[in-house]
Structure 1
Amino acid sequence: MENSGLVIVDKPSGWTSHDVVGRMRRLARTRRVGHAGTLDPMATGVLVLGVGKATRLLGHLALTEKGYDATIRLGVSTNTDDAEGEVTATASAASVPDAALRAGIAALTGPIQQVPPQVSAIKVNGERAYKMARKGEEVELAARPVTVRDFAVLDVRRHDDVIDVDASIACSSGTYIRALARDLGASLGCGGHLTALRRTRVGPYDLGMARTLDQLAGELEILPMGEAVAAVFPRRDVSDDDARKVAHGGRLKAAGLGPGPVGVFAPDGSLLALVEEHGDVAKPLAVFTS
């Protein structure tokens, strides 16, 4: 019988998120594997995978905030806004004072409008921006609202004409950390790009829960769906009658548990469904009993 649940992977550098999914399909012996929130190949850290029925859960997970440890190099710009791209410009950052650096970071903290990197998976007229950029086409990407809740400097290292800034960042889903590096450098007049990125948290799932692919090859740890849902959403335990109703896609009376998804559990503690309350009814978003 197929196991269903989440696997929290500590993604290695050099792997795409799809590479990790492919490895997990072999480890879990099922094609039903997906991921929530892509990580660039250069990046390491928390990647949430869904196995079996949990692939239907991924799109509903309220993974609205993510945490990162990043290193930004000021004084060098690249065409991808990270170290994997080609250098497009250099300008000495030696004269950038600490006060200007702090002010630049403060301006990128809170609700901001962010233009995604030219080399990104954003679709423009049905085509991925990175494919257009590789063909030499100029990509016009619209700014999008994102929120950087915290942008804390951990260390500042000055080397001749460049400055390396280590930072811890908490932000909304959809925020590009390499765009923050680009925009910080642009605001300081010296350019900037991302040289290292490690995702430390996705929603409630953090590095303490993550396992490397080698560890998972030795022991495949799958977080049961019930635990995964209870960690993110309000929990609602129902009677046998309501459990049968939900299992067949029926609606329940609202319980006043909020506008977002609510996990519905049977009397035996098993996960039945995710529902969403609208007025006085709770409508199923996803049913996991079949």
Structure 2
Amino acid sequence: MLETAPDGILLVDKPQGISSHRVVSIARRRLGLKKVGHAGTLDPMATGLLLLGIGPSTRLLTHLVGLGKTYTATIRLGVATDSDDADGSPTAAVGTAAADVSEAAVEAAVAAQRGAISQVPSTVSAIKVDGRRAYDLARKGEEVVLQSRAVTVSRFDVTGRDEHVVTVDGTDVAVVDLDVVVDCSSGTYVRALARDVGAALGTGAHLTALRRTDVGPFSVDDAIDLEDDAVDVRAALARPADIARRLFPVVTLDAIGAKDLADGKRISADHPDTDGPVAAVTARDDRLVGLVSVRRGLLRVITNFPTPTGANA
């Protein structure tokens, strides 16, 4: 009996210092499969939850990218960098000694970034400008002008505070480190939140740490260390049907209905009308056949998922 090719969603705890693309490369090597993608980039400095789509389940990534995110981070007030994080070069080191960085002042600056806001992404970002990545343009010294975007920050709370002195280019600078937790919509830049808090306080600011703990209903607590050779990566794959069930309503199909849907036919189902997605799974083996919408009692395919085949993918 042929072993089926790897297929599923992999929850990875990305370590610091490597890119999301590097994580994908490691997964390809360990699974012996080229078809691997990810939902939502993490900067090299950042750690935490990265969702990888493996094999046919890369088709699920479109529906994972837009999920809300939770981050923990440390914001350093008093020093600004050209990337808004610790990987960049200092552009200003005014410190905090001469500014009002009382708890009340910090809370006012943080509160201004909560809710539905308009945010200009960090210049050193993966956003494309005329087909080129903003970070590539910035690193070449070209001017980068990014448009503001609407994002939602449903939680932005300070959980800790530490006042101390750091040395920047040979000069001692008084800084305040703020530990924060952020719940936000997809597309929000926590680096930009730090930058804008620093601007509001007149101190400048950047991130010294960033960790993504949650993506939608998925937690980093359930993620694996992909660089640990003792981890069975294939066994860690979450089944497509299990992932879809956590995100969408489910309609169950018999064998005939599953085959007809896979063949592109519209089939009837006892389910309320909806634009979807609704996960269509098989009754016999709980396999994800497709994501569908429902109109007048008929299932219409949004995304189909192929029947598993042999391992030579």
Report the TM-score, using the length of structure 1 for normalisation: 0.95
Q: How many residues align?
A: 290
**Counterpart residue number, 2:220:** 207
Task: Quote how far apart the aligned CAs of 1:285 are.
Answer: 1.6
Mapping of 1:1-290 within 5 angstroms? 1-61=4-64, 63-94=66-97, 95-160=100-165, 161-215=174-228, 217-220=230-233, 221-253=236-268, 255-256=271-272, 258-268=274-284, 269-277=286-294, 281-290=298-307
- C-alpha contact (below 8 Å) 1:111/1:148 kept by paired residues: yes
Secondary structure of 1:39's partner? coil
Counterpart of 2:310? none
Q: Percent identity among equivalent residues?
A: 47
How far did residue 193 of structure 1 move?
0.4
Cα distance in structure 2, aligned partners of 1:241 and 1:183: 56
Q: Structure 1 256/93 Cα, relative in aligned 2: closer, same or farther at 3 Å?
A: farther
Distance 1:217 1:118 in 2: 39
Counterparts of 1:99 and 1:237, CA distance in 2: 54
Are the counterparts in 2 of residues 234 and 257 from structure 1 also a CA contact under 8 Å?
Answer: no
Match of 1:244, SS? helix
Provide closer, same or farther for how the CA distance between residues 261 and 61 of structure 1 changes in structure 2, counting only shifts above 3 A: farther
Deviates more, 1:80-89 or 1:93-102: 93-102
Give yes or no for contact 1:62–1:232 (8 Å, CA) kept in 2.
Answer: no
Equivalent residues of 1:27, 1:217 under 8 A apart: no
Shift of the alpha carbon at 1:281? Answer: 4.4
Q: CA RMSD in A?
A: 1.7
Amino acid across the alignment from 1:287: N
- Runs of 5+ consecutive residues of structure 1 not aligned to the other structure: none
Change (3 A) 1:252 1:216: farther
SS of the counterpart of 1:245? helix
Is residue 273–residue 296 contact of structure 2 (8 Å, CA) maintained in 1? no
Cα displacement string for residues 65-107 of structure 1 (whole angstroms, at most 9, x for unaligned residues): 0010100001100000000000001122233111010011111
Aligned-pair CA distance for 1:204: 1.3
Structure 2 Cα separation of the partners of residues 129 and 25 of structure 1: 27
Give me the whole-angstrom Cα distance separating, in 2, the residues matched to 1:216 and 1:259.
43
8 Å Cα contact 1:10-1:210 kept in structure 2:
yes
Q: Give the aligned residue type for 1:71.
A: T
Query: Residue type of the partner of 1:194?
Result: L
Q: Secondary structure at the match of 2:63?
A: coil
1:1-40 Cα offsets, whole Å, 9 max, x none, are 2120011000010010010000000111111111110000
Distance 1:109 1:264, change over 3 A: same
SS class of match (2:160): strand
Deviation at 1:211, TM superposition (A): 0.8
* Runs of at least 5 residues in structure 2 that lack an aligned partner in the other structure: 166-173, 308-313
Query: Rg bigger for which structure?
Result: 2
- Cα contact 2:261–2:301 (8 A) shared by 1: yes
Describe the superposition over 1:151-175 as per-residue Cα deviations: whole angstroms up to 9, x where unpaired.
Answer: 1111011124211000111100110
Q: What secondary structure is seen at the aligned counterpart in 1 of 2:293?
A: strand
**Cα pair 2:56 2:306 within 8 Å, conserved:** no
Letter in 2 for 1:7: L
Give the match's secondary structure for 1:163.
Answer: strand
TM-score by length of 2: 0.88
